[in-house]
């Protein structure tokens, strides 16, 4: 028997245990209990990521946990084929889960609190994963429908406020999971799963989003419910988003093209506001990537630039028609950023005459403010970069020369975006960058690795522009330590940007 004492500091076999590894082991034990409602006998990778949203590399948590399990003599596996002998499991892709205890292992754990044996309920409470919604409302009860939409509404508020993933009980992801647990039919369950996939996509975790989409595929058949066919169309769009996030542009295009050809979805891509808007937004990103591809001909790039602007304008109009102002703010932000990028690259597109980059970025900030939704992290990054026009291109410039680089002041920015008004305009750009980075460090602002790197770059740049060499050096070093979290192509961009800071 393996003795586990939950009293702090928690111990396994008499030794203080690493909190993450102990949490991992107890979640496997909990999943293995036949009395545990709602578990499939394993721990999903997305549940692990949800518990530790700030972890740089979830796979490091998994590696440490399995090393500790081996040291404790606990046999566990991963993957959906639980019949496969443990020695034959492939280490590659282990962090994708799901994870489970080998047969007979759960019975070998002796779990106590203050020396007294505990049951499933106490362990679930200690893990803080007991679900109030599951305990208080059963799917078949008369209260289930109001409870479902109540959970949905709370999760939507968290999503609008930028609280994507806090822990297993708080945040948008946890809220949509509660809604899923008390869904009264397949459609409600599929809808809650779709929102979970969108949360993961916004959090920058394409693997977790893909895992949720696979659950939708197994449980939902919109051919049997034509009135809700939009759910299948949206799932296809999110799947294409995942491909785009992995830099697989041809795959993203192919998924969208196949979805548009589906007879049961064709009308949705023409008239359903959410489907039209999300589809246009993703197509715009794909076209923008192709417009910025220097390997393509000038004619191809100009065509892609024109298409990107047109798609963003469609996404903006569709979002406003549906009164989905978070989507509208995101579309306005992307439109402004794209206009700026295309101008810097010397690309021609007729739609470039439709407002300035600053006006669209300012509109996005103003919309978020007026509708009381979280301002997009990307819009903050775009704003900070555009008002300095990207900065100089010279490597290792002298301090005096670097500080002479023109930066639009907040007052000049306010005049440039008129008649749009943004009351939350900061007094200094450096203060805005510093505030956002501090919010990230405190866990108040949830960002992915690329967003964090961009915020650190802006902070280092503005600190250097103010002449604060020590602070700029610290921020630049923080950014360098984060580079390994990024895709190789992104690392190259930031290394180049760091070389353009003064020494």
* pLDDT digit string, tens, across residues 151-185: 999 999 999 988 888 877 789 999 999 999 888 88
Instruction: Of 262, 190, 265, 195, give the one whose Cα is nearest residue 220.
Output: 190
Quote the CA–CA distance of 431 and 437 in Å, as a whole number.
10
pLDDT tens for each residue of 9-20: 889 999 999 888
SS3 label, residue 49: helix
Domain boundaries, the chain: 2-130, 376-503
| 290, two tokens | 């192709």
Instruction: Of 142, 157, 74, 136, give the one whose Cα is nearest residue 111.
Output: 74
Instruction: Of 410, 411, 393, give the one whose Cα is nearest residue 402.
Output: 393
Q: Is the peptide bond before 9 cis (omega within 30 degrees of 0)?
A: yes
* Concatenated DSSP letters of 63-107: HHHHHHHHHHT--EEESS-TTS-GGGS-STTGGG--EEEPTTSGG
The confidence score (pLDDT) of residue 135 equals: 44
259 within 8 A of 265, measured Cβ to Cβ:
yes
212 within 8 A of 197, measured Cβ to Cβ:
yes
Instruction: Of 321, 362, 373, give the one whose Cα is nearest residue 339.
Output: 362
Q: Taking all residues of the chain, what is their mean pLDDT, rounded to a whole number?
A: 88
The confidence score (pLDDT) of residue 408 equals: 97
| 373, two tokens | 């939704």
Q: Are strands 15-16 and 11-12 parallel, antiparallel or unpaired?
A: antiparallel
The confidence score (pLDDT) of residue 38 equals: 45
What percent of the residues of the chain are helix, what percent strand, and what percent coil, each to the nearest 5?
65, 5, 30
**DSSP, res 131:** -
| 361, two tokens | 């970025």
The confidence score (pLDDT) of residue 228 equals: 77
Quote the CA–CA distance of 218 and 178 in Å, as a whole number.
19
Dmax (CA) for the chain in angstroms is: 74
Q: Are strands 2-5 and 109-113 parallel, antiparallel or unpaired?
A: parallel
- The pTM is what? 0.75
The confidence score (pLDDT) of residue 35 equals: 60
CA 497 → CA 238, 362, 390, 454, distances in Å? 31, 25, 10, 10
Instruction: Of 203, 160, 170, 208, give the one whose Cα is nearest residue 446.
Output: 203
Q: Which parts of the chain sit beneath pLDDT 50?
A: 37-38, 132-136
| 139, two tokens | 């799917």
């Amino acid at each position: 028997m393996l003795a586990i004492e939950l009293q702090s500091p928690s111990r396994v076999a008499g030794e203080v245990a690493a909190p993450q590894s102990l949490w991992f082991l107890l979640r496997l034990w909990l999943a293995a209990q036949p009395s545990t409602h709602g578990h499939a006998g394993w721990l999903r990778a997305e549940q692990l990521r949800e518990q530790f949203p700030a972890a740089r590399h979830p796979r490091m948590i998994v590696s440490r946990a399995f090393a500790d399990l081996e040291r404790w003599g606990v046999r566990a596996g991963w993957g959906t084929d639980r019949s496969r002998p443990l020695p034959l499991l492939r280490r590659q892709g282990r962090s994708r889960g799901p994870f489970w205890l080998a047969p007979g292992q759960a019975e070998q754990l002796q779990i106590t609190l203050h020396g007294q044996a505990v049951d499933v309920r106490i362990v679930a409470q200690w893990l803080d994963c007991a679900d109030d919604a599951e305990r208080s409302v059963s799917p078949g009860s008369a209260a289930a429908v109001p409870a479902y939409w109540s959970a949905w509404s709370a999760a939507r508020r968290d999503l609008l406020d930028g609280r994507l993933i806090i822990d297993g009980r708080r945040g948008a992801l946890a809220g949509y999971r509660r809604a899923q647990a008390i869904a009264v039919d397949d459609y409600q369950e599929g809808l809650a799963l779709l929102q979970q996939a969108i949360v993961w996509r916004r959090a920058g975790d394409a693997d977790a989003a893909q895992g949720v989409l696979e659950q939708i595929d197994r449980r939902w058949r919109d051919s049997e419910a034509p009135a809700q066919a939009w759910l299948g169309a949206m799932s296809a769009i999110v799947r294409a988003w995942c491909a785009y996030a992995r830099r697989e542009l041809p795959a993203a295009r192919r998924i969208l093209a196949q979805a548009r050809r589906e007879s049961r979805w064709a009308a949705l891509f023409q008239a359903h506001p959410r489907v039209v808007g999300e589809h246009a937004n993703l197509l715009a990103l794909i076209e923008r990537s192709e417009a910025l591809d220097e390997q393509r001909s000038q004619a191809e790039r100009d065509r892609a630039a024109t298409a990107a602007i047109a798609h963003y304008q469609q996404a903006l109009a569709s979002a406003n028609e549906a009164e989905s102002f978070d989507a509208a703010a995101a579309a306005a932000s992307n439109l402004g950023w794209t206009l700026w990028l295309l101008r810097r690259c010397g690309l021609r597109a007729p739609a470039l005459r439709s407002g300035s980059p600053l006006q669209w970025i300012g509109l996005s900030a103003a919309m978020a403010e007026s509708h009381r939704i979280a301002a997009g992290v990307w819009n903050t990054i775009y704003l900070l970069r555009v008002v300095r026009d990207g900065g100089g291109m010279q490597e290792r410039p002298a301090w005096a020369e670097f500080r002479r680089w023109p930066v639009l002041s907040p007052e000049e920015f306010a005049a440039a975006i008129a008649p749009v008004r943004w009351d939350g305009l900061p007094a200094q750009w450096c203060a805005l960058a510093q505030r956002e980075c501090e919010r990230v460090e405190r866990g108040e602002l949830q960002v992915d690795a690329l967003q964090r790197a961009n915020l650190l770059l802006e902070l280092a740049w503005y600190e250097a522009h103010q002449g604060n060499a020590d602070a700029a050096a610290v921020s630049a070093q923080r950014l360098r330590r984060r580079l390994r979290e990024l895709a190789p192509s992104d690392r190259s961009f930031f290394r180049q940007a760091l070389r353009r800071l003064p020494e």
